[in-house]
A and B are shown apart, each in its own frame.
Chain A
Amino acid sequence: MTPPTDKPRLSREHMLGLLKQMIRIRRFEAKCAELYTQEKIRGFMHLYDGEEAVAVGVIPVLEKRDRIVATYREHGHALVRGVPMTTVLAEMYGKQDGCSRGRGGSMHLFDRATNFYGGNAIVGGGLPTAVGLALADRMRGDDSITACFFGEGAVAEGEFHESLNLAALWGLPVLFVCENNLYAMGTALAISESETNIQRKAACYQIASEAVDGMDVIAVEAAARRAVQAVRETRKPYFLECRTYRLRAHSMFDAQLYRDKAEVEVWRHKEPIVRYQGWLEANHLIHPEDLARMESEVAAEIAEAVAFGEAGTWEPVEQLTRFTYAEAAAQADR
């Protein structure tokens, strides 16, 4: 583990909070997987297992006024940002009480209250949006910044390059966070990029960058602090590459023919929760009762979310075509 550098801000309470957030995501998604096999959740569902340190390290560093753009693998991001677990799960149930009214599902969590601009399921699709959010902030002179999460697979898309160039060219406050988990579905980084050092791509656009061990929550948080501070002060983009690994299948339909079980096992030893928890224990920063309390709080929150999802209502079919246009415009359109 990276020893915490800026000690004053890293109180014991804060450090336990990081662990709790990671556990929260992990347990929530384990429940989601279970609900998926029960067919309560359908469609495509992508779990964040192994990558939790990224969202947990970055998102709490942002301010409430900042904005977030994420991908289809965004349950963790939504939870850490403060989208209630209840409405996240109700969304995955397809209930009207979901954060996107059941219209989006697992891949499309949106939440205006927390400036969560969605799970985008078009690879690379979120990057230009993030540029535009930051452009608006710049033009209005607001000091919000936009954090944009995407996988390393998105780096091959034109949108990635266009967005980095625009953000750098126009001086826009975007924090690009690449979650490099080495695979885009079954395509390993080495067979999809001629330059596999992703951080270097940012350099071509004159964007300050840093690569960090994305399995080390303390390191991610420290890097995120530097990054967020840089964006806020310079009002220019910053690129943070978090090197991580997806421990589970790409989605619920993936037989994982493209990688060895042994490789996954190697990474399992580096996984962020066990590793961080071990470090806290070794440094006597956590006691068994802390952990027990965390687990029981998380379990209670999940139970509440499941109850909420179960109790949620199905939107009446008569409302099918709502939200295709703004309601007032739809009236005018008739």
Chain B
Amino acid sequence: MPQEMIHPGTTELTYRDAVREAIRDAMRRDDRVFLMGEDVGRYGGCYAVSKGLLAEFGPERIRDTPLSESGFTGAGIGAAMAGMRPIVELMTVNFSLLALDQIFNSAVTVRHMSGNQFGVPLVIRMATGAGRQLAAQHSHSLEGWYAHIPGIKVLAPATVEDARGMLWMALQDPDPALIFENVMLYNMTGKLAADAGPVNIDKAAVRRPGRDISLITYGGSLWKTLEAATVLAGENIDAEVIDLRSLRPLDDATIMTSVARTRRAIIVDEGWRSGSLSAEIGMRMVEQVFWELDAPIGRVCSAEVPIPYARHLENAAIPQVPNIVAAAKAVFGRA
């Protein structure tokens, strides 16, 4: 196969590089922006995202923190309230639980509790997701939990373009925004226009148009879902794939327009099923497009178990292409 031409105006880069470019760009544009977190400086970031940034911006703005998630996340809140634009990096969503009090009880509530006198324009980035056999304290997908909370924005870039473009818009937001980077995406490469920049953070995207069923997903599961759509195409099912991009707020319009047209829907989410984001989306469909539906809504979620270490069990615990294909076919009454 001939190698695909890279357009002169595009570069090919990894998701990791795209996140780094986004941070670098924000730091250059706005000197109120700084990055802080564990091992972001000398170590280069636990997923090598911030590698090289310390040399470029120095230790004041690429700030290594001690292992004090609650403390430095809270410090990010204070700095944001005082006019800075901090980017706090929590290595993974699993460790964000140590900062949960600061996020919930301070970052999220201050605007409301203060009667709109104070706001917290803070961005918190963290890795999420399973797939690397890191077991139950390093593999969970808790972004859906965060999406439960009013007062917060929850973003899930799935493409290099979004990894590059969402951060700046999140920093412009007057309220706290969390950005979830799925660990399985860091090494993924993609093409980016040389002049790529900020992207909207409030619209879902149709990543593959289709007529027969809407597959609604985000983050790391997007790529599995697209692969499933390809498999389904071979079985005469033309699936539309929607990338939510923002988990809170949800872009109901894009979801409902799609489902009203395809009349069938599957939600694919690496979070657990019970009390989940997928449940929320499903219920919104019931509320808004129930009469357009031709079949029950389906879901492919993680098994109701902490993510196990063993490879075969971990694989079985999280959504995979064959499960998505099977769930979609089941909607058509096909095995």
A: residues with CB less than 8 A from B are: 42-44, 94-95, 100, 102-105, 107-108, 120-125, 153-154, 156-158, 184-188, 191-193, 254-255, 257-258, 314-315, 317, 320-324
Q: Is B146 an interface residue (CB 8 A)?
A: no
Q: Mark B39-78, 1 if CB is under 8 A from A, else 0.
A: 1001110100000000000000000111111110000000
Contacting residues, chain B, for A321 (C-beta < 8 A): 303-305
Contacting residues, chain A, for B308 (C-beta < 8 A): 102-103, 320
- Beyond known contacts A94-B313, A314-B312: 9 more, CB 8 A cutoff: A100-B309, A105-B135, A153-B66, A156-B68, A314-B310, A317-B313, A317-B316, A320-B317, A321-B305
Contacting residues, chain B, for A124 (C-beta < 8 A): 67
Q: What are 12 A-B contacts with C-beta separation under 8 Å?
A: A42-B132, A43-B309, A103-B136, A108-B136, A122-B94, A122-B137, A123-B67, A185-B39, A186-B42, A193-B66, A320-B316, A324-B306
Number of CB contacts from chain A to chain B under 8 A: 126
Partner of A121, one of B138, B305, B312: B138
A192 and B67 contact, CB distance less than 8 A: yes
**Bound Cα distance from A79 to B91, whole angstroms:** 30
Q: Is B311 an interface residue (CB 8 A)?
A: yes
Contacting residues, chain B, for A120 (C-beta < 8 A): 137
Question: Distance in Å from the Cβ of A60 to the closest Cβ of chain B?
Answer: 28
Q: Which of A44, A154, A255, A320 has most B Cβ within 10 Å?
A: A320
**Bound Cα distance from A105 to B309, whole angstroms:** 6
Q: Is B95 an interface residue (CB 8 A)?
A: yes
Question: Distance in Å from the Cβ of A90 to the closest Cβ of chain B?
Answer: 11
Residues of B272-324 whose CB lies within 8 A of A: 303-306, 308-313, 316-317
B43 and A122 contact, CB distance less than 8 A: no
A185 and B46 contact, CB distance less than 8 A: yes
B42 and A94 contact, CB distance less than 8 A: no
Contacting residues, chain A, for B135 (C-beta < 8 A): 43, 103-105, 107-108, 121
Partner of B133, one of A94, A100, A185, A314: A94
B310 and A103 contact, CB distance less than 8 A: yes
Question: Distance in Å from the Cβ of B140 to the closest Cβ of chain A?
Answer: 12
Q: Is B98 an interface residue (CB 8 A)?
A: yes
Contacting residues, chain A, for B134 (C-beta < 8 A): 43-44, 105, 107
Question: Distance in Å from the Cβ of B67 to the closest Cβ of chain A?
Answer: 5
- Do A191 and B64 form a contact, CB below 8 Å, given A44-B134, A185-B43, A257-B43? yes
Contacting residues, chain B, for A157 (C-beta < 8 A): 67-69, 98
Question: Distance in Å from the Cβ of B30 to the closest Cβ of chain A?
Answer: 26
Q: Mark B192-215, 1 if CB is under 8 A from A, else 0.
A: 000000000000000000000000
Contacting residues, chain A, for B44 (C-beta < 8 A): 186, 255, 257
B: residues with CB less than 8 A from A are: 38-39, 42-44, 46, 64-71, 94-95, 98, 132-138, 303-306, 308-313, 316-317
Question: Distance in Å from the Cβ of A288 to the closest Cβ of chain B?
Answer: 41
**Bound Cα distance from A258 to B317, whole angstroms:** 36
Contacting residues, chain A, for B39 (C-beta < 8 A): 185-187
A320 and B305 contact, CB distance less than 8 A: yes
Q: What are the 5 A-B residue pairs with the smallest beta carbon separation, nearest first?
A: A186-B43, A105-B309, A94-B310, A156-B66, A192-B66
**Bound Cα distance from A288 to B266, whole angstroms:** 69
- Do A122 and B304 form a contact, CB below 8 Å, given A105-B135, A187-B43? no
Closest B residue by C-beta to A189: B66
**Bound Cα distance from A84 to B98, whole angstroms:** 33
- Do A102 and B310 form a contact, CB below 8 Å, given A43-B133, A257-B42? yes
B312 and A317 contact, CB distance less than 8 A: yes
Closest B residue by C-beta to A251: B46
Question: Distance in Å from the Cβ of A333 to the closest Cβ of chain B?
Answer: 10
**Bound Cα distance from A182 to B310, whole angstroms:** 32
Closest A residue by C-beta to B95: A122
Closest B residue by C-beta to A250: B43
A108 and B312 contact, CB distance less than 8 A: no
Contacting residues, chain B, for A255 (C-beta < 8 A): 44
Question: Distance in Å from the Cβ of B306 to the closest Cβ of chain A?
Answer: 7
- Do A320 and B313 form a contact, CB below 8 Å, given A42-B133, A258-B43? yes
Question: Distance in Å from the Cβ of B66 to the closest Cβ of chain A?
Answer: 3
**Bound Cα distance from A253 to B1, whole angstroms:** 34
**Bound Cα distance from A283 to B214, whole angstroms:** 77
Contacting residues, chain A, for B138 (C-beta < 8 A): 44, 107, 121
**Bound Cα distance from A255 to B51, whole angstroms:** 11
Question: Distance in Å from the Cβ of B272 to the closest Cβ of chain A?
Answer: 10
Question: Distance in Å from the Cβ of A88 to the closest Cβ of chain B?
Answer: 13
**Bound Cα distance from A51 to B317, whole angstroms:** 36
**Bound Cα distance from A123 to B92, whole angstroms:** 13
A187 and B38 contact, CB distance less than 8 A: yes
**Bound Cα distance from A322 to B98, whole angstroms:** 27
Question: Distance in Å from the Cβ of A221 to the closest Cβ of chain B?
Answer: 29
Closest B residue by C-beta to A318: B316
Question: Distance in Å from the Cβ of B103 to the closest Cβ of chain A?
Answer: 15
Closest A residue by C-beta to B97: A122
**Bound Cα distance from A192 to B68, whole angstroms:** 10
Contacting residues, chain A, for B94 (C-beta < 8 A): 122
Question: Distance in Å from the Cβ of B99 to the closest Cβ of chain A?
Answer: 10
Question: Distance in Å from the Cβ of A311 to the closest Cβ of chain B?
Answer: 16
**Bound Cα distance from A255 to B44, whole angstroms:** 9
Contacting residues, chain B, for A322 (C-beta < 8 A): 305
**Bound Cα distance from A323 to B313, whole angstroms:** 13
Contacting residues, chain B, for A158 (C-beta < 8 A): 68, 70-71, 98
Contacting residues, chain A, for B43 (C-beta < 8 A): 185-187, 254, 257-258
**Bound Cα distance from A258 to B67, whole angstroms:** 16
Question: Distance in Å from the Cβ of B94 to the closest Cβ of chain A?
Answer: 7
**Bound Cα distance from A322 to B317, whole angstroms:** 12
